[in-house]
Amino acid sequence: RFVARDAGRLRRVKADLPEMRAAPPWIDQVVLTADSFIFARPLPEVPDGESVIAGYPWFGDWGRDTMIALPGLTLATGRYETCSRVLRTFARFVDRGMLPNVFPGAGETPDYNSVDAALWYIEAWRAYVETTGDRNALAAAFPVLAGIIDWHVKGTRYGIALDSQDGLLHAGERGVQITWMDAKIGDWVVTPRIGKPVEINALWFNGLLVMAEFARLLELPDGRYRQLAQQAREGFQRFINTAGGGLYDVLDGPQGNDATVRPNQIFAVSLPHSPLDAPVQADVVSLVGRELLSSCGL
């Protein structure tokens, strides 16, 4: 039964995605393995809701991990309806412009301790709309996405707010860890990164231009998003470390700017919309490759 199911799944993928027809066998295995991370997450408002397991066997579904993984798990494998259902499922839990990092179980309270999950949510919507052209779904979701931007501008949990002086997002409070570098031992936050983290502001700039394009597609005003993006782009140049190369990891922290070389800066190059000119992008890639690249990744 399972062999027949897998064979049927591959036939459907290759019928929908012609580029998959000549794929080597190991790609077929990746497609089938991707399915194991998708599971049912029904809600009263979204009875056919689905979500993504962050990792077996210990983890449930996490907002950040789900949105990062979603394009690869669903759009690249032709599971467009699944992608739509996951996006609609999480929309139900957006609160004060934030996406829960840990999805709540029955009767549980969502944990909104992630500064980047909502920004990855916007990027996941970009990938979905670009792949499917589904403007109806975008129109239904647009108020939620616009609310994310509004809350970040005026300020939300954990000190997350726009600094009107440079157009960048500040985030973080003592005792909490809200970026993906979230290790905490007892009361000790291993990498607090309070201030203006580089990847958060790369995601912010990217999200603003995505929202401008969404507004254009829906024939809505896009000027505010473009204005905020221009301000963020100008402010982002503060991250350029002219002395050490690459980008600062965090600006305006409790001890000033943090020049620690970390992989976070690569997002300022890899996202669809970069706030950096090409020579600076090349410098970032060179620095990260020289200092951080190993046989297991960064």
pLDDT tens for 110-158 read 889 999 999 999 999 999 999 999 999 999 999 999 999 999 999 999 9
- 6, with CB counted inside 10 A (0-12, 13-18, 19+), is middle
**pLDDT cut 70: percent of the chain above it:** 98
Q: Higher confidence at residue 46 or residue 30?
A: 30
What pLDDT, on a 0 to 100 scale, did the predictor assign at position 105?
64
pLDDT of residue 213: 98
Q: What's the pLDDT score for residue 104?
A: 67
Neighbours of 146 (CB within 10 A): 17
Mean pLDDT, rounded, for 177-193: 94
Over residues 187-243, the pLDDT tens digits come to 999 999 999 999 999 999 999 999 999 999 999 999 999 999 999 999 999 999 999
- Find the mean pLDDT for residues 77-104: 92
pLDDT above 80 (res 280): yes
Q: What is the pLDDT of residue 24?
A: 87
The arithmetic mean of pLDDT across residues 48-56, rounded, is 90
CA-wise closest residue to 152 among 109, 101, 99: 99
The pLDDT value given to residue 197: 98
How high is the pLDDT of residue 20? 81
pLDDT band at 107 (very low <50, low <70, confident <90, very high): low
* 36/194: higher pLDDT: 194
